[in-house]
Homo-oligomer: A and B are copies of this chain.
Amino acid sequence: MHKIKPAQTISSAAIGRALDQLRTVVKQRGLKSSAVRETVAEVALRRPGHFSVDDLVSDLRSSGVIDAHPATVYRVLPLLVEAGLLQLTLISTGDGARYERAFEREHHDHLVCTSCGKVVEFCFEAIELLQRDICERFGFELTGHIHELLGVCKECRTTDAVT
């Protein structure tokens, strides 16, 4: 088991590879290329950490490159997920979808402090294996999982003790 290092700023070369991968998916699905879609992809990939749709829309606006409409972003995001550039995450927060870069990043799950919102990313191979095990036993083909641990971090525990 190990902690995941914070997502590094993605390199331009990686962005290129990601866009190539996106183009492949676009072609496969008989879609057309689009500058807007690629800009959304690039800005999303460059954003460190977890972000909401709104965060991304703001980033796009402040990037000055394009000012994509939220509806457009909502339409583009599923494709970026399908293409493996992003992944949905942090389901437990409830308020709206959160995404993070998945392209050329290690798979990981999340440990969330329900008090201050702090998020720790971790990778636990043993659990992944067990998950596959379970699926096999029930005849399922595992395609994904949601795994979030909820707790209270040390700082919040000591702070709340005062309360």
Identify which of residues 92-145 in chain A touch chain B, using a CB-to-CB cut-off of 8 Å.
92, 111, 113-114, 120, 122, 124, 126-127, 130-131, 133-135, 137-145
Interface status of A35 (Cβ within 8 A of chain B): no
- Docked pose: A77 CA to B139 CA in angstroms: 34
Q: A1-B133, A133-B1 are in contact. Are A142 and B149 (CB under 8 A)?
A: yes
- CB of B127 within 8 A of CB of A140, answer no
Q: Count the copies.
A: 2
- Interface-central residue, A146, A147, A151, by most chain B CB under 10 Å: A151
- CB of B153 within 8 A of CB of A139, answer yes
- Docked pose: A20 CA to B82 CA in angstroms: 48
Closest B residue to A3 using CB positions: B138
Which residues of B have CB within 8 Å of A138?
Answer: 3, 111, 120, 122, 153
Which residues of B have CB within 8 Å of A114?
Answer: 143-144
Closest B residue to A142 using CB positions: B151
Q: A122-B134, A130-B124, A138-B3 are in contact. Are A149 and B154 (CB under 8 A)?
A: no
- CB of A154 within 8 A of CB of B140, answer yes
13 contacts between A and B (CB under 8 A): A1-B130, A1-B134, A1-B137, A91-B92, A92-B146, A111-B135, A111-B140, A140-B153, A140-B154, A141-B157, A142-B151, A143-B152, A144-B150
